[in-house]
Structure 1
Amino acid sequence: MPQFKPFKGIRPVKEIAGFFSTKSVDNYSEEELVQEVTQNLDSFLHIIKPTWEESSLETDEKHKKVSHNLQEFLKTSKSDLDKPSFYIYQLTKPSKEQVRGIVGLVHMKDYEAGKIKKHEETLTKRVNLFANYLSNIHFHAEPVLLTYPHNQRIDLLMDVEMKRLPVAAFKDKQENQHQLWQVENRLNLQQIKDSIEKYETLYIADGHHRMESSLVYSQKMMEEIKGATDSDHYNYTMAMLVSDKELIIRDYNRLLKDLNEHDSTEFLNKLSEKFDIAERGENPFFPSKKHNLGLYLDGKFYSLFVKKENLTVQGLSELDTYLFEELVLKPILNIQDSRVDDRIDFIRGTGDLNGIKNIKAKVDAGKFRAGFFFYPVASHDLEKIADLGLKMPPKSTYIEPKPLSGLTIFQLKE
């Protein structure tokens, strides 16, 4: 059973929580980064600014400056250091969609032993870059997103805590409402801990590279530090656990730059060998269910239903992105590796017609020849893929919530 542990979180005080907490730095353009640090003096980005600013410092020196910046922040009246706590986070979108989760610590040994399961491969270079970053800054500012099969008892425990006033509550520029509750009562902590630790398995929903980097960092610390034990801080990583019932999973779609020298009629004929095809005209539509793919080509929409005889691979045949790779990309378009082929592009969906209209607009603009779109992957299929030890094709899902950076911080060195 995976461990789940409270921790002494570092938080911005309530008055600046909305200014301090940010999106992940990867989600900002260079121009946006400059604008944010110029206009918002309380932003968490000021702490990690050395990582992207131009200077003569070596990479390790820049990272150590980040660690120094956090220690300086801790000395100010703008920070709080909590007693051991869990945290309940809730996101409320302008559409009124809500999702909540519990933030705590999970142990790297559980991940290494397969008790925390993954569904994506990681890139070694990216893993090592972040592991090196951790070995210099020694803190986590953003949790890995994990999911678990829905449990009513955990819901009730969160309901009780959320009746109290949050320690942070604010809206971001997109009008998303963010709220955070601190759980510090010993009995309540134990009840949450016991409820989570009854699970045999937790699943990574988002943050595969951060989890793998944390393992590399943990192993390095265990080798370097004399007298190191499994209970030391650097063997844990911060995680947000969200029920698979509440997890928001959006579609992730594809744009094609060419049809591999096929004309439209030839392409549709080849598709008809694997799919039942219905022309839908000029009106956008959203796929009705799993195994119903959408195509936009030459100003028209087509609804494609996978023929049952093509559903032959256990687990992976539940994924329309896998079927698309095996039935369309590889045999018809000769795109053998979608991760590196520049003839294909990925476009994030919205879970509704707005995402489909975005595909239409890009194809109509002439840069792309066609667009394919999918019904979102179900959370139970994500779990099934992980249980079978299989991996999804790249960009199969867009999962929310996207944890904020700096809302809670976990120090890896006591």
Structure 2
Amino acid sequence: MAIPAPIYLDYQATTPLAPEALAAMQPWLGDPASNTGWANPHSAHSAGRKAAAAVEVARDQIAALMPPGGRIVFTSGATEALNLGLRGVLAGQAPRRKIVTIATEHAAVIDTCVWLESHGHDLHILPVGSDGLVDLDQARGAISGDTAIVAAMLVNNEIGVIQPVDALADLAHAAGALFLCDAVQGYGRVPLPHAADMIAISAHKIHGPKGIGALWVREGVAIEPLIHGGGQEQGLRSGTLSPALCAGFGAAARVAGSRHQDDAAHVAMLQQTALRHFADWQVNGSLEHRYPGNLNLHCPRLDVSRLLSDVRGVAFSAGSACASGSGRPSHVLTALGLPSDKVRSSIRLGFGRYTTVDEIERAAHLINSAAMNQTG
């Protein structure tokens, strides 16, 4: 007898591929028998031009959800996009050497900033309160005339808290600095900061394929490439683009735009269902300033490692998938001031477009039953 697939509640790690994205990709996966669909989009012949046209259609679909006045640069994912945004602009920001970011940022930002600090830049990491939000007065004091760039995440990947990115962008610009927004968890779901200079996104967080992301760059912002070679992708990212991945990303963005209101209402309803069934758990981070598809919860005396092993019927997380297996406690929950026992007793539930109420209810029953067996 086949084992049923687990209930998937790990949408912050990745999202199920949308049927529309898969359909958009299939013509560009290639059919050798008919010599179609697998041409290099950088080739000058007709097959290459058709592939290039598919890439540009996708670029327009992704840009349609961005602020006006910018361009899309395709990357291998958001990690590369964030590296490009941070390292690529700092080359032209001398004599400004200061970087300001937030303690709860993704490792793609924090680790890149630490690397830049080791190469002569000044790094200021802003703390957050127990709600996970940055204090704007502290940010105002840190963002000064020597600041080159401010980097902040729109929706936190571990706790779902929405930072005041519009205000942070205004503070950056008032000091003559640039503002980079990590919008991986927010793109297509919540409003983007229209004053941002750069916005990093990833396809597989909006029901697109893995292996592709993008950096939106406002007109007039100068960036140096990280990858050198043939000068593809506007001279900023050498290497052959995949028309299939681009097409899947574009279709996912198009669907996110057309379904925005329906998806938002569905996720809000799922959140209320989950909160009812996890009423005895404590929510980590602000519940008011939060994307509703992310619930980070803790239960006293709970051993989450054991819980993950006991509840095989639900795919959920103890934190960021990017740091799983590292053995390190969550730097996000630690930044909120949670003691180590509460950090170790926290789980993350992520849900979205394809999650059902029945799945939330069944998952809650399985998780609560296993937790009760542990804690009594």
- Fold equivalence (TM over 0.5): no
In terms of fraction of residues, the more strand-rich structure is: 1
Larger Rg: 1
